[in-house]
Amino acid sequence: MAEISWMDRVRGRIQARIGLPFEHRVRAPLRRLRNASRSYRPIFVTGAAGGGTSVMAVALAQRFDAAGLVYECDSQISHGSFLHVPPLSSYGSVAEYERRIAPDAAWSVEHGRHDVQQMLRAYATGPGEAVVAKGPDIHLVRAAFLERCFPEAGFVAIVRDPAANLEGLRRKWPLFGRDRLEACIGFYRWIHESYLDQTATFRERALVVDYADLVSRPAETLAAVAERLGLQPARRRVRLPDAPNVEGPGIRNLRGNRVEMVTDADRRARARLTPEEAAAIDAALAPLRARIAAETLRP
């Protein structure tokens, strides 16, 4: 993997300090005003954090006719919305995070649709009708509520090797690294079982994609997703800033407005685990893996 140059690091810091605040405070409100009369169809991309949601969302937004792309939409949505979720650094334990993201039976479908639609309008830049909205963890457990808000929505859950996924989850996010491995395994099981249970009645629009398929056969995998969700080829590609892969924060590269797959991420992640950790994860999640395999879309 290529080493990240000092220029890339400086560019990233500048973007974080200047570009992103300008995007949120100036451009997003202007787009929301410009798109006020439009309604968008969300394509909710989800999965466990660190499981490939970014590469899936970017690939869909680029390859197919998407009006825009929303990263981490549960933190981008209005702070006044009941759907807003503070960052992971806000929680003291995995159990506290679980309680915060769990859906509430009292939530209003009307208000939820309004809040999500406002967010989509703020990030839509093209003429298409669909906006790709990425929400790791949270869309998995809120899928049924989001489908009631948007009966026309599509869902794509990308699932990575649990051991590799949990290794990255604990390494990259202190909330999970501080807690017990058993708590992290339970969280992984809960979010995926929630998705499978909640989407059983609209499985034709709620897909499960294997991360290994996306890495090894990206064109075929994305074509299968697009066919199931009725996505048309892109008339123009969403422009993306270069984001070289950094060991830790991500498992993908963005260069020259193209997605570059990192093909050995799972192998390297498993190698960081002790044999005891890998065996505990594999044993605890074997039934879930079998259930997921039965629902996985195959290119």
pLDDT, tens digit (0-9, with 9 covering 90-100), for 192-232: 999 999 999 999 999 999 999 999 999 999 999 999 999 99
What's the rounded Cα separation, in Å, for the pair 299 and 288? 21
Of 140 and 73, the one with more pLDDT: 140
What's the rounded Cα separation, in Å, for the pair 16 and 12? 6
Percent residues over pLDDT 90 in the chain? 70
The mean pLDDT value for 155-161 works out to 97
Q: Give all strands of the β-sheet with 206-210 in edge-to-edge order.
A: 66-70, 130-134, 41-46, 154-159, 206-210
Strands (E), 117-162: 130-134, 154-159
The mean pLDDT value for 111-130 works out to 94
Per-residue model confidence as pLDDT tens digits over 37-53: 899 999 999 999 999 99
Instruction: Parse the chain into domains and list their residue ranges.
Output: 6-295
Element (DSSP H or E) covering residue 197: helix 181-198
CB 83 within 8 A of CB 198: no
**How many Cα atoms sit within 13 Å of 238 on the Cβ side?**
27
3-state helix vs strand vs coil in the chain, percent to 5: 55, 15, 30
pTM, two decimal places: 0.86
Of 98 and 235, the one with more pLDDT: 98
Contacts of residue 218, Cβ cutoff 8 Å, sequence gap at least 6: 59, 259, 261
Q: What is the pLDDT of residue 37?
A: 86
Q: Shortest CA distance to 272 belongs to which of 281, 262, 284?
A: 281
Sign of CA dihedral 51, 52, 57, 60: negative
Per-residue model confidence as pLDDT tens digits over 10-33: 444 444 444 445 456 668 888 888
Q: What is the pLDDT of residue 223?
A: 95
Architecture of domain 6-295: 3-Layer(aba) Sandwich (3.40)
Compute the C-alpha angle 42/48/179, nearest 5°: 140
Sign of CA dihedral 290, 138, 259, 223: positive
